[in-house]
Amino acid sequence: MKSFDAIVIGGGQAGPFLAARMVEKGMKVALIERKFLGGTCVNAGCMPTKTLVASARAAYVARNSAVYGVNIPGEIAIDMKVVRARAETVTMNARNGLIGWFAGMDGMTVIYGHARFEDPKTVSVNGETLTAPRIFLNVGARPVIPDLPGINDIDYLTSTSIIHLDTLPRHLAVIGGSYIGLEFAQMYRRFGAEVSVIEHGPKLASREDEDISDAIADVLRSEGIDIHTGVSDIAFARSSDGITVATDSARIDASHVLIATGRKPNTDDLGLDAAGVISDKHGYITVDDRLATNVDGIWALGDCNGHGAFTHTSYNDFEIAAANLLDGADRKVSSRILAYALYIDPPLGRVGMTEKQARASGRKIMISTRPMSRVGRANERGETKGFMKVIADAETKKILGAAILGIEGDEVIHGIIDAMNAGTTYPALQWSVPIHPTVSELIPTLLGDLKPV
């Protein structure tokens, strides 16, 4: 049996950085990864997909360049092999960077293999047994495959496998109208494929307010994406030239099907029972406000604990654990103000409460909206789709939440994120003097238009 000061299972966006901090403190750490360092973000999520989004935007801009007085003769052609290779290069650069970083770190032992608990202080991997007083789980999540008629008879894609496509689908059917599915839908439409989105719920991006959801649908429809919501029945069958997707309201002749119906944690084969670690009915490991499980000496970080499922929340889990365990701090998950983005184009930046949540909270609230068509920078750039929205507490004057669906919305939202984390009241932010011409300069104007509801 090999002994360590700590064992980290999973090489995503929390565990490796925590392992590095512990090594800096002179600890002996084992980092176990069953496949690739970097987790979903580096290998099948943020980095490759946003690289693909950038290629798709380049195609979109080229096709619409005449609007800006730039004439490109001939048809805009897409080389999917180059597109794929570019995304793969970005992934490999990041992954190899992590490999090199850890290789030069005394006290770090990286082990590739499948780890399982033998007891609360012991794990087995590759036939060896390792023990440590502290064990951190950062095992991530994977796509959920729903039990739909005919699904096992077709060769479907997931968010992991679709990034390896080096040919253009004739017609891509996306099953699931949430964040992952919508990004791939627009991306492949811009590459030149016909695209249909099929969603069980009554609207796209169900987490968002109805006005945001409707605006997202308008953006996608304006680019020729076929959207089906409120679909109760879906079945698949092979056809002579692809896959038939039959719903209760439509029949789609697809060449490829992307299943984007959610994700589930990679906790079913960790041997949690042997360690006595409790998980919920969906497989998410139960943790307290400091990310500790019910078993002393075991913590769960990142997607597998169900508190965020984003790269930035996973990294924040590392920051919380490191601050509490190594720096004598007392940081809590409940102090985190959730923010995220949807990377369609234009992107959606989101922070805090939705309008629906704010109304349900019983607070006296104020709301302001502003269409991007009334943002000078958006008009200059010729990108006026979407709108800004902010919700504030009428009594405390604190900002409760905001949504910016529009050009650079994923960047502009950070001014509000920072204000909310600093506890700044909206009148104070209203009197800032932003740079002109920018999209962010409209934040004080947006706040000045807050009205009670």
Residues assigned a catalytic role: 436
**Helix ranges, 156-229 (H):** 179-191, 210-222
Q: What is the DSSP letter of 361?
A: T
Helix (H, G, I), strand (E, B), or coil: what is residue 41?
Answer: helix
Query: How many helices and strands (H and E) does the chain possess?
Result: 13, 24
Q: Which residues have CB under 8 Å from 354's CB, separation 6+?
A: 207, 208, 209, 212, 391, 401, 403
Question: In this structure, what token pair is assigned to residue 16?
Answer: 């490796």
Helix (H, G, I), strand (E, B), or coil: what is residue 435?
Answer: coil
Please provide residue 389's backbone torsions phi and psi, each rounded to the nearest 5 degrees: -150, 135
Can you tell me the distance from the alpha carbon of 87 to that of 67, in angstroms, rounded to the nearest whole number? 29
Given a contact cutoff of 8 angstroms between Cβ atoms, the answer to whether 245 and 198 are in contact is yes
Q: Which residues have CB under 8 Å from 284's CB, separation 6+?
A: 265, 267, 304, 305, 306
Q: What is the DSSP letter of 176?
A: -
Can you tell me the distance from the alpha carbon of 67 to that of 61, in angstroms, rounded to the nearest whole number? 10
Can you tell me the distance from the alpha carbon of 241 to that of 445, in angstroms, rounded to the nearest whole number? 54
Can you tell me the distance from the alpha carbon of 378 to that of 350, in angstroms, rounded to the nearest whole number? 19
Question: In this structure, what token pair is assigned to residue 202?
Answer: 């009554």
Given a contact cutoff of 8 angstroms between Cβ atoms, the answer to whether 225 and 197 are in contact is yes
Half-sphere exposure (Cβ direction) of 124: Cα atoms closer than 13 Å: 10
85: amino acid identity, one letter: A
Q: Which residues have CB under 8 Å from 297's CB, separation 6+?
A: 120, 121, 133, 134, 135
